[in-house]
Amino acid sequence: MKQHPSRKESAASSVASRVPDPRRFEASKRVLLVDAFMNRFIKVGGIGVVVAVIGIFVFIVSQVVPMFQSAKVDLSDTIGLGEVLPEGDYVAIAADEWGERPLALRADGRFFTADLGAGGKVTEIDFQFLDGDTISTVSAMPGSGVITVGTAGGKVHLVDYEYEASFSGGKRSVAETLAKGYTGDFGGPVKRVAFGQSGAARLVAGLAAGAEGDLLTVNLIERKRSLVGSGTWRETASIDLTKSLRPGVPVNSLLVSNRADTLIVVFANGEVDYHFRSGTSTEFELRQTFRPFAELTNPTIASAGFLFGDVSLVFVSPTGENLVYSLFRTEEEPVRIFHPTKDFASLGGKAGAAYFTKSLRNKAFLIGSGKMVSLRHATTEKVRWEGELPFAVRHALIGAKYDSLLFLGDDRRFHRFALDDPHPEVSVRALFGKVWYEGSPEPKYEWQSTGGSDDFEPKLSLIPLIFGTLKGTFYALLFAMPIALFGAIYTSEFLHPWNKVYVKPVMEIMASLPSVVLGFLAALWLAPILEQRVPSILCIVFLLPVASFVIGWLWSRQPQSIRKHVPAGREFLYFLPALLGILVAGWHLGPFLEKVVFTVPDAEGGRVGDFTRWWPAITGTAYEQRNSLVVGFVMGFAVIPIIFTIAEDSLSNVPGSLRSGSLALGASRWQTAWRVVLPTASAGIFSALMIGLGRAVGETMIVVMATGNTPIMDWNIFSGMRTLSANIAVELPEAPHHGTLYRTLFLGAVALFVMTFAVNTVAEVLRQHLRERYKTV
């Protein structure tokens, strides 16, 4: 007979069948492998990102570090050593642009050259010009192509020299050519000479011994150009400046600028006369008399000379003090005169400079006496290199390419040393401090990387660029931050959920707009409109917020019987027409306000409304079409979506129980949002602001296209600026690889990197502080 299980047995069996199988919680091997792979992949990816960022930073820094290296001159490695020149007193030297074939003039008028590229072989040049006379004084200005020779017979000769390179079998050979260019009679034994030329004009100054005293004469030599070429040099004027001399005070030296308009007379008592000739005039005006070392016990001048560009003068005292005077005009002075601008370190109490020579590439110059040599740069006011040579120096030259130093020693041999100084115009002070540039009446921060002439002085201060970055960021956040934050609060706390579904995606789409498109619209569409409608913008900026607060206040005072007809979160649909009407009214009210308030005198003696003229007249600052107001609007438009999205997410993630508790205790929705939700989400909101700040700091295309890119330091909202990122975009295509400008732009990138890192670090510290403070709310 078949046995049926009892009811208890059936129940026990049913329970046993429902007991879960423990193996169902075990993950498959495939899931475990994928999980393990993803864990390692994410770790490796994170480490890779960190390594990449560090690598980028290291690369950028590696491009910057070489800028701050000092000049290097290896005295143990002579790249050119000439044979011993014949016996005699050598009074001047000159060299080709490669420094391979220097020539020397001996006191008897004979020229010798040394081929430093072929073992330094010395040969005499077959050239005579003295005609039995004897040399009494010589001036050889580097790079002029002319050696000026004064003689005891009262003559001044201009000896033109020229080098020509030829190539054969892949090797370069250099040959010199000498020619007698001009001879003038100065009426007595010549004591001092000076020469300068500019285009078709040459200026020769000579101090000669006359029967009743010294004679100072300046001869103007010109040649006319025609379609068939240049004519011959002819003396067109002889200017007598003898009356400007001091009786009984000898003249130590004469200097003539390469613009052929300036004559400097250096007297034995330390006084300096500055004579100037305007344009094509044949008359000199004594513009200034000054004494550079008037405060010293011995105020005399050991050596003096023009820097490259002939705007600055270098003076060295007998005790080694070194000053630079530059031409500029102050508000009280009608013309440019010389003022002290640079004070270099002394040569160390040793003998004053016996020689001076300038660079033909930059504002560097070389001074020294005996074996002591000092290479200095006027812009940075730094000693680039200083040392003692194994021989005493008679004459010195800086290579035309600023890549070598050439000396004629007391051993009558040419010595050429390699010079490695690729960035002489760079120093910490030049990049981040105030520098007294040529032509400027005071030290200042300035960025101007290029100029219209070879003698331009690069101005590479990063301070105007950092200022422009902060200025653009400030005005962008001034516009974006209130709109984004109040918009996020309203969307999160007051807007109806159905409308929120559309608002959030629209804001995120705004963030995807290319910045180049925004910059294009700002420059070509918005800027011209705002230029004519600033009063309208002022009306809107005032009326719209005031109207919004008034409407909100009035609505909150309405009885419940009226407010119940408008669904919560849909109030804006009823207020929007009124706000649009106020916006249109403010736009049309602007021209009326301009005619009433922002008026300036017109040509007929009346008043006319013109804000673009009123602003400069009242504030003394410029009004430019592409200005910070335009950048604030457009860059703020690009930043708003970022701040809004992150802030709204932070507000929405506040637990609903906090809102419910606040409302249950009798707080209004606004009180709940302001005192409960906002503090709780403050860490996230602060992160949103910092990310928006980082977006504004690094913005490039909007700033490039909408600001005018003027690197000025002015908080004026109606002037432009240039930011670090925009400067990199504008300058880098024209920067020579590994040149000073190239590396300075990388330094700007380092500054951006450091600024971003500092902002992020501070933001994270404050975010953690806010998080800890409000975590118990």
- The CATH number assigned to the domain holding 692 equals 1.10.3720.10
- Contact predicate 326/439, CB 8 Å: yes
- Is residue 701 included in any domain, yes or no? yes
List Cβ neighbours of 516 (8 Å cut-off, separation of 6 or more).
701, 705
- Both tokens of 759, joined, read 């902002």
At residue 16, does pLDDT exceed 70? no
We report the CATH number of the domain holding residue 248 as 2.130.10.10
pLDDT band at 644; cut points 50, 70, 90: very high
At residue 673, does pLDDT exceed 50? yes
At residue 512, does pLDDT exceed 90? no
- Contact predicate 458/407, CB 8 Å: no
- Contact predicate 720/628, CB 8 Å: yes
- Is residue 541 included in any domain, yes or no? no
Give the lowest-confidence range in 84-93, 133-142, 501-510, 624-633. Answer: 501-510
List Cβ neighbours of 724 (8 Å cut-off, separation of 6 or more).
462, 465, 466, 468, 469, 748, 749, 751, 752
End residue of a domain, out of 272, 290, 308: 290
SS3 state of residue 57: helix
Q: Which residue is listed with tokens 């009063």?
A: 535
pLDDT given for residue 556 in this prediction: 78
Q: What is the mean pLDDT of residues 516-531?
A: 89
Q: What is the mean pLDDT of residues 227-244?
A: 82
Number of helices (H) and strands (E) in the chain: give both, helices first.
19, 34
Q: What is the mean pLDDT of residues 756-775?
A: 79
pLDDT given for residue 566 in this prediction: 77
* pLDDT > 90 fraction of the chain, expressed in percent and rounded: 45
Q: What is the mean pLDDT of residues 89-116?
A: 92
DSSP 212-274: TEEEEEEEEEE--EETTEE---EEEEEEE-GGGSPTT--EEEEEE-TTS-EEEEEETTS-EEE
Question: Which among 629, 612, 631 has a CA at the least distance from the CA of 621?
Answer: 612
Give the CA distances from residue 373 to residues 142, 303, 384, 394, 408, in Å, rounded to whole numbers and listed in that order.
18, 14, 11, 12, 13
- Is residue 351 included in any domain, yes or no? no
pLDDT given for residue 561 in this prediction: 79
End residue of a domain, out of 275, 290, 305: 290
Sign of CA dihedral 289, 295, 298, 301: negative
Q: What is the mean pLDDT of residues 462-490?
A: 92
- Cα 250 to the center of its chain, rounded Å: 45
pLDDT band at 679; cut points 50, 70, 90: confident
Dist. CA 458–CA 446, nearest whole Å: 10
pLDDT band at 331; cut points 50, 70, 90: confident
At residue 74, does pLDDT exceed 90? no
Residue 253 buriedness (CB in 10 A; 0-12 / 13-18 / 19+): buried
At residue 315, does pLDDT exceed 60? yes
- Is residue 458 included in any domain, yes or no? no
At residue 739, does pLDDT exceed 80? yes
Neighbours of 117 (CB within 10 A): 17
- Is residue 608 included in any domain, yes or no? no
Hey, which residues does 185 pair with through a beta bridge? 155
At residue 423, does pLDDT exceed 50? yes
List Cβ neighbours of 726 (8 Å cut-off, separation of 6 or more).
468, 700, 703, 704, 707, 709
At residue 729, does pLDDT exceed 70? yes
- Please, what is the end-to-end C-alpha distance for the chain in angstroms? 75
User: Residue 746: which domain range?
Assistant: 463-531+624-776
Buried b / exposed e along 760-773 (16+ C-beta atoms within 10 A): eeebeeebeebeee
Q: What is the mean pLDDT of residues 28-57?
A: 89
252-289, pLDDT tens digit by residue?
999 999 888 899 999 999 999 999 998 777 889 999 99
- Cα 747 to the center of its chain, rounded Å: 11
pLDDT given for residue 777 in this prediction: 47
Give 153 or 510, the one with higher predicted confidence.
153
List Cβ neighbours of 343 (8 Å cut-off, separation of 6 or more).
322, 323, 324, 381
At residue 47, does pLDDT exceed 90? yes
End residue of a domain, out of 244, 263, 290: 290
pLDDT band at 351; cut points 50, 70, 90: low
At residue 770, does pLDDT exceed 60? yes
At residue 17, does pLDDT exceed 70? no
pLDDT given for residue 350 in this prediction: 55
pLDDT given for residue 82 in this prediction: 82
Average pLDDT, whole number, for the chain?
A: 87
- Is residue 6 included in any domain, yes or no? no
What does pTM read for this prediction? 0.86
Dist. CA 450–CA 195, nearest whole Å: 29
> Computed over its alpha carbons, how large is the radius of gyration of the chain?
39
**Start-end of H helices in 698-739:** 701-706, 724-731
Give the lowest-confidence range in 451-455, 460-464, 570-574. Answer: 451-455
**Pairing status of strand 337-344 against strand 322-328:** antiparallel
pLDDT given for residue 65 in this prediction: 93
173-201, pLDDT tens digit by residue?
888 899 988 899 998 999 999 999 887 78
- Both tokens of 87, joined, read 């016996």
At residue 343, does pLDDT exceed 90? yes
Number of folded domains that form the chain? 2
pLDDT given for residue 708 in this prediction: 82
Neighbours of 547 (CB within 10 A): 18
- Is residue 639 included in any domain, yes or no? yes
pLDDT given for residue 573 in this prediction: 75
Hey, which residues does 435 pair with through a beta bridge? 444
Q: What is the mean pLDDT of residues 34-59?
A: 91
Q: What is the mean pLDDT of residues 437-454?
A: 85
At residue 227, does pLDDT exceed 50? yes
Q: Which residue is listed with tokens 């400067």?
A: 727
At residue 3, does pLDDT exceed 60? no
- Is residue 684 included in any domain, yes or no? yes
